């Protein structure tokens, strides 16, 4: 069994876009005393996927973030922010009339009318569309 207590802070290029989320996941996992195997059993997310959060160049999928956040009681909006899945607010582009434009992901995460389950479903669909669009471009 592998424990999460061997985590350490890294400097430089090893930090990926979701490093802060990786650190929070490992912190919450350690606070619960869960092994990597227990985390995988509760989330369905492999240890290698969790480890990729540390140095990955792209944000993880909504499914990965949602599963880990649910199991570890991390606020969904906070989890997506830590994972690098939401844009930083103030620099939002505007339309021709000065109205700020927001991404579909940001709108889903910010709209209080949706439940966490509805957000998860919409973010999963958005991931599918984004992946299809990337595949079509290449």
> For residue 7, is it within any domain?
no
> For residue 43, is it within any domain?
yes
> For residue 70, is it within any domain?
yes
pLDDT surpassing 60 at residue 3: no
Query: Are 27 and 41 spatial neighbours (Cβ–Cβ below 8 Å)?
Result: no
Domain harbouring 24, CATH code: 1.10.260.40
> For residue 83, is it within any domain?
yes
> For residue 111, is it within any domain?
yes
> For residue 1, is it within any domain?
no
pLDDT digits (tens, 9 = 90+) for 47-98: 888 888 888 888 899 999 999 999 999 999 899 999 988 654 545 566 666 6
Q: Please give the Cα distance from 123 to 63 (Å, whole number).
A: 8
> For residue 21, is it within any domain?
yes
Domain count, the chain: 1
Among residues 97, 99, 75, 73, which one has the least CA distance to residue 86?
Answer: 75
Domain span at 112: 12-137
pLDDT digits (tens, 9 = 90+) for 84-133: 886 545 455 666 666 667 778 888 888 888 888 999 899 999 889 888 88
> For residue 4, is it within any domain?
no
Is the pTM higher than 0.75? The answer reads no
């Amino acid at each position: 069994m592998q424990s999460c207590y061997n985590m350490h802070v890294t400097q430089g290029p090893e930090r990926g876009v979701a490093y802060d989320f990786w650190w929070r996941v490992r912190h919450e996992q350690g606070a619960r005393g869960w092994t990597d195997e227990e985390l995988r059993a509760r989330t369905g997310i492999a240890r290698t996927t969790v480890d990729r959060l540390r140095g990955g160049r792209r944000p993880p999928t909504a499914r990965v973030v949602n599963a880990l956040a649910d199991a570890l009681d991390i606020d969904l909006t906070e989890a997506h922010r830590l994972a690098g899945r939401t844009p930083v607010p103030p620099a939002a582009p505007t339309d021709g009339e000065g109205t700020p434009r927001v991404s579909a992901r940001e709108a889903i995460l910010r709209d209080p009318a949706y439940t966490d389950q509805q957000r998860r479903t919409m973010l999963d669909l958005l991931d599918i569309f984004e992946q299809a669009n990337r595949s079509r471009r290449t």
